[in-house]
Structure 1
C-alpha cells in the first residue's frame, strides 16, 4: 500500500467517525428545536454561536488550521439552523417568480434545504411572510447597473412588522436565450424583466431588437420555450436556459461586466446582531431638517454608506428616507443615536440588522 492510499484510508476512517458524531449532534439539535418551540424562542441565537466559535477556536492546537476549523463549525451551525427550521415548520421561503428566476437562484444559495414558495408579485412575498405562511422572503433590493428596486423599498416601508435580516450579492450574467438551433438573424423580439432589459440596453440597441417586459426573467424564458416560435428570445441566466430547454445564443449581453444584484431577506423575527443596520425615517418639510439628521449620524461616529428618498404613499410631494449605517445596533452608541433621531425625525424605525 503506497503513502497516498494510506492517507486516504485514514481520511475514510475519520469520516466514518464524523458521520456517527454528526447523527449524534443532530439528535441533540432535535432536542434544542423542541425546547425553542415550547418556549417561543427564535432559531438563530447569535450569542450562543459566538460561544461555540470561541470554544472551537480554543480546541485547535495548530494555529494554521484554526480558521479552516472555524469555517467548518460555521457551516455545521448553519446546517443545524436549517434542520431546526424544517422541524419547526419554519423552512418555507417565499420569492417572486418561477423556478430559475434570479430570486430563486439567490434563495437556493442562501437556503439550499428550504421549501421555496413561488409568488406572482413582490407584494405577495411580503404578505406571506407577514401572515406567517413563509418564515422568510428573498427579494431584489438594488442592482449595481440599473439601481434601486424602488417597489421593494416601498414595501419595506409599508410593512413595519417585517425586518431585513440578511443581504446577499448575486453576480448577474444576462444571456440571450433562444430555441435550440435558432440563428441570431431569426430573432425578432425579446422578452425579459425590465431590469434585465435595462442591463442589456447596449446590445439590444445594436441589434435593433424590440423588447417586452415581463414579471421576471424565468417567466420570459418559460414563455419563449412554450411558444415554440424561433423569432422570440429571452434574456435570462444559464441556469434558466437549462431549466426550460433553451440555448444560450449570445452570452453576457449585459453592459456592466460587474453586474450584481443585491437581495434582501425579510422576516418577522428581529435580528439580534450584525455589522450594518438600516433606518427608515421622515422629517418635517423645513429647511435644514434632513441635514440635521445627517449631522447627528456623523457626529455619533457612524459611517452612512447609503441614503435614498422615496415618495410617501398617498401623501403628494412628501418623502421618506432610507439610510444604511455601518455599526452594531446593539452597542450603546447605536441606541443613543436612535434616541437622538427619535427627537429629530417626525418618524424613525430600524428596518434591518445584518452582516456584509
Structure 2
C-alpha cells in the first residue's frame, strides 16, 4: 500500500484562505446580520487568491531566478493596488446593490460606504496583509528549495570525490607497499606475508565492502587497524605508533571512509627529526552512542607546500561532516610547531543525513 504523505505547504495555504474567508464573512455578518453574506466573502477570497497567487507563484519565482527584484517590487505595488480595488469594490458594491435603500440600511452604513475612495483606503491594510503573507510563504518555499538544491549539489560533489577514493587506491600507498613487499621478500618472508594479507584486506574493503550509505562500525575499525598496521610495518623503527581501540557496540552504523583522511594525513605529514623519532597516536573510543576519534602526530614547524593533499583533504572532510552529520558532530583541529592533533566527536544515535550516489 502506498504510504500517504501530508502536503504541508498545501495544508498551510488552504488553512490561510479558509481563515481569511471566515474573517471576511464574520465582518460582513457583523455589518449585515440579516443577509446571506457567504457568497460575498467567497468572491473576496477568490479575487484575493487569484491576484496573490499570480504574484507569489508566477512572478516571484521568475524574479528570484533572474534576479529582477526591482521589477518584482513594482509588480507587488500593482498587485496590492489591484487587490485593494477588488476587495473595496466588493464591499462598496455589496452596500449599494444590496443594502442601500433597503430596511437594513442606516446612516452609519451610508457614511462608511458613501465614498469609494474612503473604502479603498480602509482596505489597503487588508490587501497588504494578504499579499505579504502569500509572498512571504512562497519566498520561504523558494529559498528552501534553492538551499536544498545547493546542499544536494555540494554533497554530490563530495560523494563523487569519495567514490574516486574508493575506486582508485592511493597510488603513494600502493607504490610504497609494493616496493616494501619487494624488499621484505628478500629479508623477512613472514613479515612480507603479513603485510600482503593486510594490504589485500584494505583493497577488498575499499573496492567491495564500503559501497553503501553506511557500514557497521566494527568493519570500519577493522579497516583502520589494517591501514595503521601496514603503515607501522612500512615505517618500522623510524616511527612510534600508539593506538587505543575501545569499541563497545560495533554494530552501530557510520559513513564509510570518514576517518581515513585523518589517518592518511597523520602518516603522510608526520615529521621525523634526526635527534628523535616521530610519532602517531590514535584513539577511537565509543561510549554509548558517542564516538570520539583522536589522532595526533609529530609536526614540523616548516609550513606544508600548497600542492600537498591527503585523500579527500581535511577541508572536504569538514564539509562532508557538515552535510552528513549536521549538528551531530564536533571537530577540533589543533596545529602547533611540534604537534598536529584532530579530535572528532560524532553522535551515532541519529542516522546520517546521507544522499546516495
Asked whether the two chains share a fold, i.e. TM above 0.5, the reply is no
| Higher fraction of helix | 2
TM-score w.r.t. structure 1 length? Answer: 0.21
TM-score w.r.t. structure 2 length? Answer: 0.21
| Higher fraction of strand | 1
